[in-house]
Structure 1
Amino acid sequence: MQIALMVLIVMLLTGVVFGFVLAFANKKFSIEVNPLIHIVEEALPKGQCGACGFAGCMAYAEAVVLNPDVPPNMCVPGKAPVAKIVGELTGKAAPAVDPRIAHVRCSGSPGVAVIKYQYKGVEDCAAANLLQGGQKSCQYGCLGFGTCVKNCPFGAMTMLPSGLPHVDPEKCTGCGKCESVCPKGVIEMLLVGAKVGVNCNSKDKGAVAKKNCAAACIGCGLCKKNCEHDAIKLANNLATVDYKICMEKCDNPTCLAKCPTKAIEAVVKDSVAQKVAV
């Protein structure tokens, strides 16, 4: 009994001593945090999306306050309003940033795209992609397991009954998180206000692309030939759009009517684009 009591007393005294040592060390070696960092962090949308290039909102707040070379407009989801606030708080100029919105470059739902086997594994696009590139014959198409939807910090994406993701333009902040997690590179960021977008990601030649998916871009070039402003190019058998030219010059997208597979279509109406850009 006496030995147990002595052990208890020794442990208690040891704990008290270590407590005083830790308290002293904490006070002695503590680093004072600039209160402006927390103020800036509170102004950010808290999506922790990493679109700014930093590991979360606090990391960006610290960088923009302490590093004179870090601009105040790197918070993509916050757009111009947040850039203005951060600029005012840090005394830095906030150059304008073109607002963006996610766009799914695939229309290959089951029945449209050819399915080469039935996948029965983990419902995750990255996991499915490890097995022969996924269940679709098209090696560039959306796998449909919603990895982008699960990783959207702002709840701007949902899975449609067709098995393809849908972007809500009123919720999408253009942070690019969905783009970064897609193993197929199906998602791209459009400039808000772009008139058209290509709903295909296939780099296969026309005959192969059409065999794998009825909605594929076949690289025929009709959209390019019918674009009055030279805003469409062909690269790797796939039509690509220069969205700045499309926005600035095009009032009547004649390319839409000429696409034989409807792989290019209107994406964002002006009324919605203006709301997203605010």
Structure 2
Amino acid sequence: MQSFLTAPAIMTGLGLFFGTILAVAYKLLKVEEDPRLAHTEEMLPGTNCGACGEPGCLPFATKLVDNEVEPSACTVASSDDIEAIADFLGVDAGKATKRVARLHCAGGRREAFQIAEYHGFESCRAAAVVSGGGKGCSWGCLGLSDCDIACDFDAIHMNENGLPVVDVELCTACGDCVDACPRDLFELLPLDQKLFVQCNTPLEGEAVTVLCSVGCDGCAKCAADAPEGLIEMKNELPIIDYTSGIAASPKATGRCPTGAIQWLESGQFIDNQESERGHAQLH
């Protein structure tokens, strides 16, 4: 009978001992949470898209409360919401440059040579892995809507030419389309960066134009016409240094024989105007 009672007594004693240790540790090690944190998180969109550079709205709210970032870094929130957060925290809202997704390809159905018809799972990633899709250009857009499906903000839609059109008003630069594209064709750029190369093909001359009428043929005329230091030719493609601080101008696009480099005032493909202009320049 005595041994029967001893075991529960020991267990109860151990429980009280370790419980006391945990309670003391909690009291000593507890990190006080800023009471503004929960309300700040509630004021954010709650999309957890990562466009702000943080993995979610809670980590971003934490940095807001700690005054490590500005409210304007949230590209999803409206201007009114950003002002409300700034007023609540008593900080400056800041001014963020709007970024949008741009596609390094203008070779739609009308411009890119088709070598086959792809029949299978309607996915760019599947086509790229299984057969490479039906386009002759192995570096161009496959046009099977992975980016459209991945976009949580309804900012991407496929046009009649088989290319994804980004709505710059709805785009939040979250980067989902960048991750979804198996050919790494999307790049997030400030909307005010208007000079853009719509090609990703590392070929030159006729090797490009037989595959796509608006592909870059590597002639380097754009680099010659642009301000010195703005454009450098790498792997037969013009690479624009957006961090150079050198002001770009439409002049760099003037002598491009295929229209592969464009001056974009807003959207990349507005009623296919850019694509059609490049096609007309070749013919």
TM over 0.5: yes
User: For the Cα contact (< 8 Å) 1:80–1:96, is it kept in 2?
Assistant: no
Partner SS for 1:49? coil
Partner SS for 2:232? strand
C-alpha distance in structure 1 between counterparts of 2:221 and 2:50, whole Å:
38
Other-structure match for 2:192: 193
C-alpha distance in structure 2 between counterparts of 1:125 and 1:154, whole Å:
20
Other-structure match for 2:257: 260
User: For the Cα contact (< 8 Å) 2:110–2:161, is it kept in 1?
Assistant: no
Q: Deviation per CA, 1:35-54, whole angstroms, max 9, x where unpaired?
A: 53332223323333222344
Q: CA deviation at 1:130?
A: 0.9
C-alpha distance in structure 1 between counterparts of 2:202 and 2:83, whole Å:
41
For 2:247, which of 227, 239, 249 is the aligned residue?
249
Match for 1:132: what amino acid?
A: S
User: For the Cα contact (< 8 Å) 1:71–1:92, is it kept in 2?
Assistant: no
The farther-off stretch of 88-97 and 142-151 is 88-97
Match for 1:196: what amino acid?
A: L
C-alpha distance in structure 2 between counterparts of 1:46 and 1:208, whole Å:
48
Q: CA deviation at 1:223?
A: 0.5
User: For the Cα contact (< 8 Å) 2:230–2:244, is it kept in 1?
Assistant: yes
C-alpha distance in structure 2 between counterparts of 1:65 and 1:109, whole Å:
43
Match for 1:186: what amino acid?
A: L
The farther-off stretch of 81-90 and 196-205 is 81-90
User: For the Cα contact (< 8 Å) 2:117–2:133, is it kept in 1?
Assistant: no
Q: CA deviation at 1:229?
A: 5.0
Instruction: Report the RMSD for the aligned CA atoms in angstroms.
Output: 3.2
Q: Deviation per CA, 1:53-85, whole angstroms, max 9, x where unpaired?
A: 444324533x4268x595345534348876665
Match for 1:257: what amino acid?
A: G
Other-structure match for 1:48: 48
C-alpha distance in structure 2 between counterparts of 1:199 and 1:162, whole Å:
15
C-alpha distance in structure 1 between counterparts of 2:146 and 2:104, whole Å:
15
C-alpha distance in structure 2 between counterparts of 1:69 and 1:211, whole Å:
55
C-alpha distance in structure 1 between counterparts of 2:256 and 2:85, whole Å:
44
- Please tell me whether residue 124 in structure 1 is matched to residue 123 in structure 2: yes
C-alpha distance in structure 2 between counterparts of 1:44 and 1:115, whole Å:
46
Q: CA deviation at 1:219?
A: 1.4
Other-structure match for 2:201: 202
User: For the Cα contact (< 8 Å) 1:157–1:168, is it kept in 2?
Assistant: yes
C-alpha distance in structure 1 between counterparts of 2:88 and 2:199, whole Å:
43
Q: CA deviation at 1:100?
A: 0.8
User: For the Cα contact (< 8 Å) 2:226–2:251, is it kept in 1?
Assistant: yes
C-alpha distance in structure 2 between counterparts of 1:149 and 1:159, whole Å:
7
Match for 1:105: what amino acid?
A: H
C-alpha distance in structure 2 between counterparts of 1:192 and 1:106, whole Å:
17
Q: Deviation per CA, 1:2-43, whole angstroms, max 9, x where unpaired?
A: xxxxxxxxxxxxxxxxxxxxxxxxxx99x9976533322233
Q: CA deviation at 1:189?
A: 1.5
Other-structure match for 2:8: none
C-alpha distance in structure 2 between counterparts of 1:234 and 1:227, whole Å:
12
TM-score normalised by L of structure 1 = 0.72
Give the number of aligned pairs. Answer: 238
C-alpha distance in structure 2 between counterparts of 1:58 and 1:128, whole Å:
37
Match for 1:260: what amino acid?
A: P
Match for 1:266: what amino acid?
A: W
User: For the Cα contact (< 8 Å) 2:204–2:216, is it kept in 1?
Assistant: no
Partner SS for 1:239? strand
Match for 1:255: what amino acid?
A: A
Partner SS for 2:210? helix
Q: CA deviation at 1:124?
A: 1.4
Match for 1:202: what amino acid?
A: T
Q: CA deviation at 1:92?
A: 6.9
C-alpha distance in structure 1 between counterparts of 2:174 and 2:193, whole Å:
17
Change (3 A) 1:59 1:245: closer
User: For the Cα contact (< 8 Å) 1:232–1:242, is it kept in 2?
Assistant: yes
The farther-off stretch of 169-178 and 47-56 is 47-56
